[in-house]
Every structure is written in structure tokens, then in C-alpha cells.
Structure 1
Amino acid sequence: MEWVESGGGPLIAVPETVLPFWAGADGDETVSDYDRACEVDGRVGLLPVGDSAALVLGDEPASTSYLPEHRAFVRWGAADSEDELLAGVDKALATAVWEAEVHWTVPGPVVLFDAAWPGNDCVRTDHLKVALDPGRYAVRAAQVQPGAETWLGLVQLRRL
């Protein structure tokens, strides 16, 4: 599996079509796009980017991957191995106490990367392309402990 990590700030999923509009920590403005992403309160939030929106994975800068079979971003909280973490996903999905969902409209595939990077430069660092069909999604998040020493975050997408 491919995992994306950040340098300490939030990860962000930006639609490919608007990557050039994400300036990251760069820019001449008093508040950068990165600053806006850091201000997101909670596990998920949306920020306008170009004529679309990006999904901010807030809370803590955990290593994150995407499981297409569950339409979910999985965030590594604690586990002795990747196998142990992934073995807890089904139980975590079944027992999660979900936070309020947000609705996200995407024009197609998105790219997950560290919010500090400009969109045009994200391919030079950890990133993950996520194939999403164009449309509207309900996005919900939870922090779950599926095992005694296994913690993970979930950000699940449901097509509306």
C-alpha cells in the first residue's frame, strides 16, 4: 500500500482539475492556503479551491492511505504493523461512532498530499491519486480502536 505522510500539518485531497490553484504554504497573501487548512476544526473540512473544493484531513498528521473497496481514507494511529492496522478496518467501519458528515462535490480524481505543498509541486513529494467518479459525496469521519493496541482514523465517502 502507498501511505502519504505530512511534515506535521494536515493532509488535503484536491481535485486534479484545480491542483494549480492550491498554493500551499507559498503565496503573497497574509493567510496562505496551508494556513486555511490548519484552521479546519475537526477531522474533516472543505476549503474552496478554484471552482471546486478540497477535503482537509485534519486532527493529527497521521500516515494515510485510501482503500477503494471501502471508499475510505485510513489514517494510521497506532499498530505494530500495516497488516495489523488493515486487519482492524472492517471492525472499525462496523463499530465507528461517526462525526457529522460534510457534502463534497468532485469533478473526478483527487490527489492526496501534504497541505503545505503547492498543488503543482505535490508530485515531487508523498502523494496518492484517488480515482473518484465525478459527483457529490457524503464524507464522514471517526477515530476507532478496533484492537487493544490498534487505533485508526477513518474518513469514508458515500456517493449521493
Structure 2
Amino acid sequence: MATWLDSTDFARYVLIPEEVLPTWEGAEAEEVIDEYVSALRMAGRGILTLGAEPLSVTWLAESLTFARWCYADDDTGLLSAVHAAGSADGWKDVLLLELGGRYVLADAAYEGDRILDSLRDAQQPAEALRVELPPGRYRVQSLIVDPDHKTQFMLERLLPE
């Protein structure tokens, strides 16, 4: 169903503008250690980081939501859980961030060259996902959903301001 990036040993993912990738060295994310959701700036652009736990992650473009797999037998209930969570109480506001354009979601420890190579090589397991966002200011919100007693996903959604 969804394309998942396998869990990261570094426990940090980064949503980085494609034009910044050639200069990304992977070490920049050390500034956001121990935060589930954070942001940094590079080359005048906002960069979103997802971290604190080495969980697999996917991007759901229709709902502008990142989902991290806490535990589940499979991801068949993910889309219905995200849809149900859309109007749920309990979303926690985390930060506001200016975003827009073509981004790539990848392990924050990977250097830009490795991320670009991954995007070009469809034969290998995915190490990066492309994300396109209309320009604007976004509120990032987090919520943990438990569709049933055997399933849990951590969600981060982007709400246009």
C-alpha cells in the first residue's frame, strides 16, 4: 500500500528541499537530537525533522501527513485511521514552518549524494520519498492513533495556515 522508509539507526528523518540536497552532509540534524518534530534552516529554507525513535515512516500526500509505524501487523488500517483522526481531538501543535516546492524525505544521517542516488535507483529499496508542497506557512501537529489494540501509528500532519 504505502511506500515506507525502513527505520533509521540515527532516529532522525529530514524533509529537505531538493535544491539543498547537493550540500547536505547529514550532520546538520545533530542540532535537533531528542525532538520528535523540529525544524532547522539551511540556505534560507525551512527543513522539517522527524525523530527521537527509529520508526519506519511514510508520506500520505492526500492528507499532508507523515505516518510513523509504532507497531502493527501491517498497514492496511492506516488510511482509515488517518481519515478518522482528521477531525479527532488531541492533535498537539508542535511548530509553524514555511514550506513549499519539491522536497525529499530521507534518513537525516545520509549525505545528499546518497539520497540523490536512491531517488535515481528504483531497483533498490526506497531510501527517500519525494514530497511536493504548495508554498505557504504550515502548522505541524502530532497525534498518536491506536486503530485497535495491535496497531499504533504516530502522525504528523501539515495544516496550511
- TM-score, normalization: structure 2? 0.83
Partner SS for 1:83 = coil
Distance 1:6 1:65, change over 3 A: same
- Counterpart of 1:86 (choices 79, 85, 93) is 79
Which residue is equivalent to 1:134?
135
Q: Structure 1: where are the runs of 5+ without partners?
A: 25-31
Deviant stretches of 4+, over 4 Å? none
Alpha-carbon contact 2:143-2:156 (below 8 Å) kept:
yes
Which residue is equivalent to 2:15?
13
- Counterpart of 2:28 (choices 26, 29, 33) is 33
Q: Distance in 1 between matches of 2:95 and 2:104?
A: 19
**RMSD value over aligned CA atoms?**
1.8
Partner SS for 1:95 = coil
Alpha-carbon contact 1:92-1:146 (below 8 Å) kept:
no
Alpha-carbon contact 2:20-2:43 (below 8 Å) kept:
yes
Which residue is equivalent to 2:93?
100
Which residue is equivalent to 2:5?
4
Q: Structure 2: where are the runs of 5+ without partners?
A: 119-126
Paired residues, what number? 151
Q: Of Structure 1 and Structure 2, which has the larger fraction of its residues in strand?
A: 2
Partner SS for 1:132 = strand
Q: Distance in 1 between matches of 2:60 and 2:147?
A: 17
> Do residues 124 (structure 1) and 126 (structure 2) align?
no
- TM-score, normalization: structure 1? 0.84
State the AA in 2 paired with 1:79.
A
